[in-house]
Amino acid sequence: MRMVLLGPPGAGKGTQAAGLAQRAAVPHIATGDIFRANVAQGTRLGRRAQRYMDRGDLVPDEVVIAMVMGRLAEADCEDGFLLDGFPRTVAQAEALDRRLAGLETPLDAALNFEVTEEELFRRLAGRSAALHRSDDTEQTIRHRLEVFAEKTRPLIDYYRHRGLLIPVDAIGPVEEVTVRILDALAAKKAT
């Protein structure tokens, strides 16, 4: 299974991705987690990414693309992967397509997590308090949602045009959302 997860920050991608990846026995590649680990370790990549992350901006495409392409070249990605938080721009999606076309291993699906803005604020405010993420202050949350609308939302059409988009109603208990995803994936497979 080769899949990407789309959706605004706070849509629950990470929670679902971990379970789905385990079920499909493929690696869960969360770009935000990789960046945060690099920041925590003080690597060069972490130092480069941190100022963008703290502002709620996207890390430049060339940095993210190089990092993800390197990760996808690792042996555990041979039979599939679940990308969580990548792509976030059309340039990133095109880079991923080029790579997968070269390997003749196209994507199977792009799950699009749909959540109302009101629900997102409620969730992100809760996460901010619980995790002390420096990019979850109210002003930064607002900015991240704007960046999503401008840079990432166009990917919904990008994947719809390619017949890969699976919309997911991401409001409700985690287990219910999981069931909706598994049903939608099974329905897509059957077509």
Q: Residues in the site for ligand AMP, rule: CB under 6 A? A: 9, 31-32, 35, 52-53, 56-59, 64, 85-86, 88, 92, 135, 144
Residue whose CB is less far from ligand AMP, 44 or 186: 44
Of residues 2, 88, 123, 151, which has the active-site annotation?
A: 88
Residue whose CB is less far from ligand AMP, 98 or 189: 98
Which helix (H) or strand (E) is 165 found in, with range? strand 165-169
Q: What are the tokens at 49?
A: 């990414």
Residue whose CB is less far from ligand AMP, 77 or 188: 77
Return d(Cα 48, Cα 173) in angstroms, integer: 36
Which candidate, 66, 35, 37, 72, places its Cα nearest to that of 51? Answer: 35
Q: What are the tokens at 37?
A: 């680990």
Of residues 48, 71, 127, 188, which has the active-site annotation?
A: 127
Per the annotation, the verdict on 133 as an active-site residue is yes
CB of 92 to ligand AMP, least distance (A): 6
Of residues 48, 71, 99, 133, which has the active-site annotation?
A: 133
Per the annotation, the verdict on 47 as an active-site residue is no
Of residues 2, 13, 123, 151, which has the active-site annotation?
A: 13
- Give the CA angle between residues 25, 30, 36 to the nearest 5°: 135
Residue whose CB is less far from ligand AMP, 16 or 92: 92
Per the annotation, the verdict on 142 as an active-site residue is no
Q: What are the tokens at 68?
A: 């993800």
Residue 27, Cβ neighbours under 10 Å: how many? 17
- Give the CA angle between residues 83, 24, 102 to the nearest 5°: 50
User: What are the residue numbers of the active site?
Assistant: 13, 88, 127, 133, 144
